[in-house]
Structure 1
Amino acid sequence: MAPETQLPRHCDVAIVGGGHNALVAAAYLSRAGLDVVVLERSDHVGGAAVSERPFPGVDARLSRYSYLVSVMPDELIAELGLNLDLRSRPTASFTPTLVDGRAGGLYVEQDEGPVTADSFRTVTGSDREYDAWRRFYAEVGDFAQAVAPTLLEPLPAASDVRTRVDAAVWRDLVEEPLGHAIENRFDDDLVRGVVATDALIGTFASLSDPTLIQNRCFLYHLVGNGTGEWRVPVGGMGAVTAELARVAREAGARLVTGHPVTSVELSENGASVAVGDATLECDWVLGGIAPAVLDRLRGVRPSAEPRGAQLKLNLLVDRLPRLRSGVDPALAFAGTLHVGESYAQLQQAYDEAAGGVAPRNPPGELYCHTLTDPSILSPELAAAGAHTLTYFGLHMPPEVFEPDVESARSGAVHAALTALDAHLDEPIESVLARDENGDPCIEAKTPQDVQAALEMPGGHIFHGDLSWPWREDRSADDPASRWGVATDHPRLLLCGSGAQRGGAVSGIGGHNAAMALLEAHG
């Protein structure tokens, strides 16, 4: 069923923005009997969680912006009745090394065993680092087990969570910059970097940042379903959106696309949402867009201007490239392949970017969807051995692409591919597929591109800095505050990644906004 294009005059709940969280909220609220209208400016719903064919004449449906699923609770998937196939990857990560001209690499299995232990021993020269690795992630796992069950509940008090977590672990992950724990627990620079990367995806920070935004990013990357495993959505992210849209429509929600909201006016009893020359009257408004954008729609100056920090590359290759180490590409690319992400390299890249210069040796990581799920390729491409590769580059804030974004983008792409080529037995460009025009199948997304395409301020993929998933203050006890979706107006709730437990493709913000509204609605 196609999305609607007709704007009604009144509804109970208007949801601004049609991303995955908006669809989750719409499904829950519609099932509760409320009349819900989702307003999306684009011609399709899904926001960043979509699959598209970016290369002319090539039948490959890539997840162009978001690409893996971890934080979405299995409980939410079951409650909504989503027909999703989320598959595990056999490889957790591979980090190629090049020391004195000798190529090697640190290989970590999804289910760690002797192969992982041998790899640590070969790279670091002893068993100490792997022992430290296992202790650290066992403790992180205990932390995740304590936090994950609370994500679909009212915010717990920080003191309650703390009682369920070892005091030393709480100190390392919550009270002190994460870099302290990494430096105290690990000696090897490469191992330190592999641990640190989860604190920096989509977050521009040093590991020693006193604001602890890197700690919060690390927590969200490791907390999903109590395991932190990132799984591959069969059919791509578009399959996730398609299922969410299906259940929302079946519940009765109206998904109206091609209708950008131009203003939101709030009153004591409801709101007026302007969509071009038309107006939608409603009792409640949920904001599935970034809080800074929502502020502008209300004529309010945003309290903060987010800025992202990533370079996203989408590639299609005729075959996976050979590695200098001789490791089977089907193993190396099956998980997360780290490039230029030792601890020292991460800090150097941050220092350069903080000075307004694009990193000379940019850190980044690659992921191959099609080794786990070839269904996003046509049968002909899959049979010919083609694969998709997604590169996520760190420490690339908007300012390093200014004032000439086109030129800076080209330079950043060249630097990223050069860093990868250092570990390959053949240039990555030699295996790039070609589209119908003869152009290489590679596209780049800077923070500026993400902002233009998705209206995420500063290209920030989380809509802003992530928050701790608990409450420090028990005094505010209205439903919106208890569920972490409050704004400065009782008729306006956050339901997107800007909610207190937002970020990533999780549906948590949408669920919690729906629960808060239903509680307040009575």
Structure 2
Amino acid sequence: MSAHAFDGVDARLSRYSYLVSLLPRRIVDDLGARIRLVKRRYSSYTPDPATGGSTGLLVGPQSTFGAVGAAADEAGFEDFYRRCRTVTERLWPTLTAPLMTREQARGHVLAGGGEGADDAWAAITATPISEAITAAVHSDLVRGVLATDALIGTFARTDDPSLVQNICFLYHLLGGGTGDWDVPVGGMGAVSGALAAAAAGHGAEITTGAEVTAITPDGEVTYRADGREHRIGARYVLANVTPAVLAGLLGEPAPPSAPGSQVKVNLMLRRLPRLRDTTVTAEQAFGGTFHVNETLSQLDAAHDRATAGEVPNPLPCEIYCHSLTDPSILSDELRASGAQTLTVFGLHTPHSLLAHGDDERMRNTLTSAVLTSLNSVLAEPIHDVVLEDAAGRLCIETKTTADLERSLNMTGGHIFHGGLQWPFAEDDDPLDTPARRWGVATGHPRILLCGSGSRRGGAVSGIGGHNAAMAVLAG
């Protein structure tokens, strides 16, 4: 949802989520939802930490690999993503179809992926993604740009043998088959609002402000609303909660759940900050994803430091400026003044850093780490351009994994409801019921997952809901 996060500041910010990639056009069209997405002009900008940000890599129109001494990596960078697309373009349409097995998915990719598809499949699904990245390019900075998609909300090194980082990487490149992450016009609240309007238009009754307290395997839901307890029964219950939360509602032991691993800082700026790199404009640098202290070696070092129980220094971050692409979230007055929103997403901040400490102290520590990392590549302190709210407070809002767990009931603050799974079944997985074939099964035939905890859930996609609906129709 979008909200007016700062007192007296007429800007609608998406406080928790931000971009859209995995929402299939088919779902939007089937629902008749009025959702408009627009592309960002640039892909990314990465200041070189070795020069304190006085040089940097711009990817997009007129890329600047030579500026960071990586001219020889430009062809390898482009070829890396071309090879990834041989996998993602074939897999993307399968996410709204019954599950394939691993071998069926591989065969599907090879059948239409062309030359090199088998190697690309193996690079993504069989060996740590760091191997493909380091083979493709040589610059530590360029390697980091490739690697960040493997680590958003996922606590792992790029060479982790479990391949959890590979699964995260695949999902970040799957959307539309291209991996483009687009800006929702009007903010994320416009997306949820359009979906709610479409649901109501099709006869759905939406109740908000209700707390579900129990679910039974035979489809009875107990909830509190308006100060009273209610019970309702149905043939099927579709649950858009984490598997661990669902287990608690069923009175069952919680399944294992990976920790969340991110911090999000929302800022409202009077204007974009000046850069140390004078060869790019602020509009170019902030027009895509702005990477801060995210070389491959910095990413792995940050993971190791967080594993030891410390906040990484420097903290790897990436920045997104919604208002550059979609100024509609700003009032006319803010727009005319040159104000901009800024969202900074810090990596490798696992929930374990907050789980046993003082929430407010850790929030301040993480906020400081994010802003210090950002300042390391700017020509002026970010505080100098932060807007003040109606009470004279700086417009800085930090959302931690503890906030996600407390406010949204996301177990461990994990943005993917406890960890992503491959978008295909293993070859020996039972697919003997509609719920299993669609990847939405629980231990109870009448209870289905319909959110990020489903087999192909994760991010703002609607895929879990679509597949749960298909399982119900097939049942």
Instruction: Normalising by structure 2, report the TM-score.
Output: 0.95
Which residue of the other structure, out of 308, 321, 324, is the alignment partner of 1:368? 321
**Which residue of structure 2 aligns with residue 494 of structure 1?**
449
Query: What is the CA deviation profile of residues 489-520 of structure 1, one whole-angstrom value per residue up to 9, with x for unaligned ones?
Result: 10010001000001000000000000001110
**Which residue of structure 2 aligns with residue 105 of structure 1?**
56
Query: What is the CA deviation profile of residues 258-307 of structure 1, one whole-angstrom value per residue up to 9, with x for unaligned ones?
Result: 2111001123xxx2111132211221111111110000001001111331
**Which residue of structure 1 aligns with residue 276 of structure 2?**
324
Matched, 1:64 2:15: yes
Partners in 1 of 2:159 and 2:52 — Cα distance? Answer: 32
What is the Cα deviation at residue 167 of structure 1?
Answer: 1.6
**Which residue of structure 2 aligns with residue 451 of structure 1?**
405
Alignment of 1:152-167 (within 5 A): 152-163=96-107, 164-165=109-110, 166-167=117-118
**Which residue of structure 2 aligns with residue 238 of structure 1?**
189
* Segment drifting more, 410-419 vs 341-350: 410-419
Partners in 1 of 2:52 and 2:205 — Cα distance? Answer: 60
Q: Which amino acid aligns with 2:88?
A: A
**Which residue of structure 2 aligns with residue 278 of structure 1?**
230
Q: Which amino acid aligns with 2:409?
A: E
Partners in 2 of 1:462 and 1:273 — Cα distance? Answer: 24
**Which residue of structure 2 aligns with residue 83 of structure 1?**
34
Which residue of the other structure, out of 126, 131, 137, is the alignment partner of 2:75? 131
Partners in 2 of 1:252 and 1:510 — Cα distance? Answer: 16
Matched, 1:287 2:232: no
Query: What is the CA deviation profile of residues 243-263 of structure 1, one whole-angstrom value per residue up to 9, with x for unaligned ones?
Result: 100110011111011211100
2:43 aligned counterpart, secondary structure = strand
What is the Cα deviation at residue 475 of structure 1?
Answer: 4.0
Matched, 1:463 2:407: no
Matched, 1:149 2:93: yes
Matched, 1:176 2:127: yes
1:103 aligned counterpart, secondary structure = coil
Q: Percent identity?
A: 48
Partners in 1 of 2:290 and 2:132 — Cα distance? Answer: 24
Which residue of the other structure, out of 244, 248, 251, is the alignment partner of 1:299? 251
Partners in 1 of 2:53 and 2:384 — Cα distance? Answer: 23
1:151 aligned counterpart, secondary structure = helix
Which residue of the other structure, out of 305, 320, 334, is the alignment partner of 1:352? 305
Which residue of the other structure, out of 424, 449, 457, is the alignment partner of 2:378? 424
Matched, 1:505 2:460: yes
1:216 aligned counterpart, secondary structure = helix
Partners in 2 of 1:311 and 1:302 — Cα distance? Answer: 25
Matched, 1:381 2:344: no
Which residue of the other structure, out of 136, 139, 159, is the alignment partner of 1:188? 139
1:202 aligned counterpart, secondary structure = coil
CA 1:491–1:167: 2 relative to 1, 3 Å: same
Which residue of the other structure, out of 309, 312, 315, is the alignment partner of 2:261? 309
Q: How many correspondences in the alignment?
A: 461
Partners in 1 of 2:257 and 2:289 — Cα distance? Answer: 30
What is the Cα deviation at residue 414 of structure 1?
Answer: 1.1
Partners in 2 of 1:452 and 1:444 — Cα distance? Answer: 14
2:66 aligned counterpart, secondary structure = helix
* Segment drifting more, 473-482 vs 441-450: 473-482
**Which residue of structure 2 aligns with residue 29 of structure 1?**
none
Partners in 1 of 2:328 and 2:372 — Cα distance? Answer: 30
Q: Which amino acid aligns with 1:345?
A: Q
Query: What is the CA deviation profile of residues 452-491 of structure 1, one whole-angstrom value per residue up to 9, with x for unaligned ones?
Result: 1111011000001100111223643210000000011100
Q: Which amino acid aligns with 1:273?
A: V
2:166 aligned counterpart, secondary structure = helix
Q: Which amino acid aligns with 1:123?
A: V
What is the Cα deviation at residue 101 of structure 1?
Answer: 5.5
What is the Cα deviation at residue 98 of structure 1?
Answer: 4.1
Query: What is the CA deviation profile of residues 168-203 of structure 1, one whole-angstrom value per residue up to 9, with x for unaligned ones?
Result: 111110001111111222211001101000000010
**Which residue of structure 1 aligns with residue 114 of structure 2?**
none
**Which residue of structure 2 aligns with residue 393 of structure 1?**
346
What is the Cα deviation at residue 388 of structure 1?
Answer: 0.3
Alignment of 1:243-254 (within 5 A): 243-254=194-205
Partners in 2 of 1:242 and 1:94 — Cα distance? Answer: 32
Partners in 2 of 1:275 and 1:408 — Cα distance? Answer: 33
Partners in 2 of 1:79 and 1:155 — Cα distance? Answer: 20
> Is contact 2:235–2:446 with CA below 8 Å preserved after alignment?
yes
Structure 1: tracts of 5 or more residues without a match: 1-49
**Which residue of structure 2 aligns with residue 516 of structure 1?**
471
Q: Which amino acid aligns with 2:221?
A: V
Matched, 1:120 2:65: yes
Query: What is the CA deviation profile of residues 95-129 of structure 1, one whole-angstrom value per residue up to 9, with x for unaligned ones?
Result: 011435671100001xxx5x11xx11231343x21
**Which residue of structure 2 aligns with residue 33 of structure 1?**
none
CA 1:510–1:100: 2 relative to 1, 3 Å: closer
Q: Which amino acid aligns with 1:121?
A: G
Partners in 1 of 2:431 and 2:473 — Cα distance? Answer: 18
Which residue of the other structure, out of 345, 362, 370, is the alignment partner of 1:408? 362
Partners in 2 of 1:169 and 1:125 — Cα distance? Answer: 23
Partners in 1 of 2:124 and 2:257 — Cα distance? Answer: 26
Q: Which amino acid aligns with 1:510?
A: G
What is the Cα deviation at residue 160 of structure 1?
Answer: 2.0
Partners in 2 of 1:328 and 1:221 — Cα distance? Answer: 27
Instruction: Normalising by structure 1, report the TM-score.
Output: 0.87
1:464 aligned counterpart, secondary structure = coil
Which residue of the other structure, out of 468, 483, 504, is the alignment partner of 2:438? 483
Query: What is the CA deviation profile of residues 36-64 of structure 1, one whole-angstrom value per residue up to 9, with x for unaligned ones?
Result: xxxxxxxxxxxxxx000110111111001
What is the Cα deviation at residue 411 of structure 1?
Answer: 1.6
Which residue of the other structure, out of 171, 175, 199, is the alignment partner of 2:150? 199
Partners in 1 of 2:358 and 2:448 — Cα distance? Answer: 38
What is the Cα deviation at residue 226 of structure 1?
Answer: 0.9
Partners in 2 of 1:483 and 1:99 — Cα distance? Answer: 48
CA 1:250–1:132: 2 relative to 1, 3 Å: same
